[in-house]
């Protein structure tokens, strides 16, 4: 896939639905990603944190990729997340993903070991050199303890297929730092739901979203309204959405978002241990947030037919 078609718009970090027996529920997986596509997302990300990558086997990750590629229209890129402990494992995963037809990769820093800046850069470079796929670096120092700094991105400029960053530092000024330093060299996708609109207004090209798994139309509507300059309408939906979006910034975001998606018929509540289903006061509290939002959800305009900025029109 031409990389100009990548890294613009809304990319859901897809959930991985399971059956009660703990196997992957492919029927529900398909139902969810087809709803995302119908809502107007730009691409799909498989086996991310929301996809419970930490409990998926290597084979299951590849199986999800193959299944998605068989069932997703060709114009929708399918991105596989790589979150490995060793450089050799990450290189192997990148090569296998390319062989299986992935359209791009999301790449985390080395897992478990808190690598130095030099080690992280060399890790990224090694993976990039092993594949022709376009790569989005996942920069999330809050959850993964490693901050990919502007200076580190300067060292990654020479890798032609490192093209984007999932910007999850939660520091909005970092978007401006990246643009000031690199211009359009790295596409920026906001990675935190609760500042997704702010990230877009600061210059992000799109978002890697979480609550989109449950509310794809509302998520894409905000993005497209903002792109079209209809900020008041985007903001009204965003303010309605915020109590839900805050479910994305909690250690049990997987359970929370699966609960929301279940309420919308797009998932079930089953998770893999060590995660456990919600119960008691926590379950009641999250269910109330979801039900209150559904009861007051806004009527959306015809957001799919809005005129967008030239750069977005070119990649649609």
Predicted confidence (pLDDT) per residue in 237-295, tens digit: 999 999 999 999 999 999 999 999 999 999 999 999 999 999 999 999 999 999 999 99
Residue 314 has pLDDT above 50, yes or no: no
Per-residue model confidence (pLDDT) at position 313: 40
With CA atoms as reference, report the closest residue to 204 among 5, 36, 10, 40: 10
Per-residue model confidence (pLDDT) at position 32: 98
Task: State the pLDDT confidence band at 311, using cuts at 50, 70 and 90.
Answer: very low
Residue 101 has pLDDT above 80, yes or no: yes
What is the end-to-end Cα distance of the chain in Å, rounded?
Answer: 13
CA 3 to chain centre: 17
Distance between CA atoms of residues 214 and 256, nearest Å: 10
CB 304 within 8 A of CB 293: no
Residue 24 has pLDDT above 90, yes or no: yes
Distance between CA atoms of residues 166 and 129, nearest Å: 20
Per-residue model confidence (pLDDT) at position 4: 55
CB 44 within 8 A of CB 14: yes
Per-residue model confidence (pLDDT) at position 113: 83
For the chain, give percent helix, strand, coil, nearest 5.
50, 10, 35
Per-residue model confidence (pLDDT) at position 3: 54
Per-residue model confidence (pLDDT) at position 220: 98
Task: State the pLDDT confidence band at 100, using cuts at 50, 70 and 90.
Answer: very high
Q: What beta strand segments (E) does the chain contain? A: 9-12, 44-46, 78-82, 104-107, 134-139, 162-167, 187-190, 206-209
Task: State the pLDDT confidence band at 112, using cuts at 50, 70 and 90.
Answer: confident
Pairing relation of β-strands 134-139 and 104-107?
parallel
User: What Å distances lie between residue 207 and 7, 26, 110, 138, CA to CA?
Assistant: 9, 25, 23, 12
């Amino acid at each position: 896939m031409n990389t100009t078609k990548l890294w613009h718009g809304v990319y859901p970090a897809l959930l991985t639905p399971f059956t009660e027996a703990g196997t992957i529920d492919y029927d529900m997986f398909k139902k969810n990603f087809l709803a995302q596509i119908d809502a107007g997302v730009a691409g799909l990300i498989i086996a991310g944190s929301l996809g419970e990558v930490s409990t998926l086997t290597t084979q299951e990750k590849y199986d999800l990729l193959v299944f998605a590629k068989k069932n997703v229209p060709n114009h929708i890129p399918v991105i596989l997340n790589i979150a490995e402990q060793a450089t050799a494992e990450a290189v192997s995963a990148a090569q296998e993903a390319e062989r299986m037809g992935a359209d791009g990769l999301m790449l985390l820093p080395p897992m478990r070991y808190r690598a130095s800046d030099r080690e992280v850069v060399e890790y990224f470079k090694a993976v990039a050199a092993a594949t022709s796929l376009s790569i989005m670096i996942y920069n999330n120092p809050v959850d993964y303890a490693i901050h990919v700094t502007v200076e580190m991105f300067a060292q990654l400029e020479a890798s032609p297929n490192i093209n984007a960053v999932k910007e999850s530092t939660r520091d909005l000024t970092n978007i401006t730092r990246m643009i000031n330093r690199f211009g359009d060299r790295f596409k920026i996708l906001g990675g935190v739901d609760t500042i997704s609109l702010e990230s877009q207004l600061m210059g992000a090209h799109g978002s890697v979203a979480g609550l989109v798994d449950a509310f794809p139309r509302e998520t894409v509507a905000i993005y497209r309204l903002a792109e079209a300059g209809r900020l008041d309408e985007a903001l009204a939906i965003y303010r309605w959405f915020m109590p839900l979006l805050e479910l994305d910034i909690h250690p049990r975001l997987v359970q929370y978002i699966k609960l929301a998606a279940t309420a919308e018929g797009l998932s079930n509540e089953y998770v893999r241990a060590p995660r456990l289903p919600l119960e008691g006061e926590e379950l009641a509290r999250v269910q109330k947030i979801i039900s209150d939002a559904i009861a007051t959800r806004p009527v959306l305009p015809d957001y799919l037919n809005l005129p967008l900025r030239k750069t977005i029109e070119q990649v649609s």
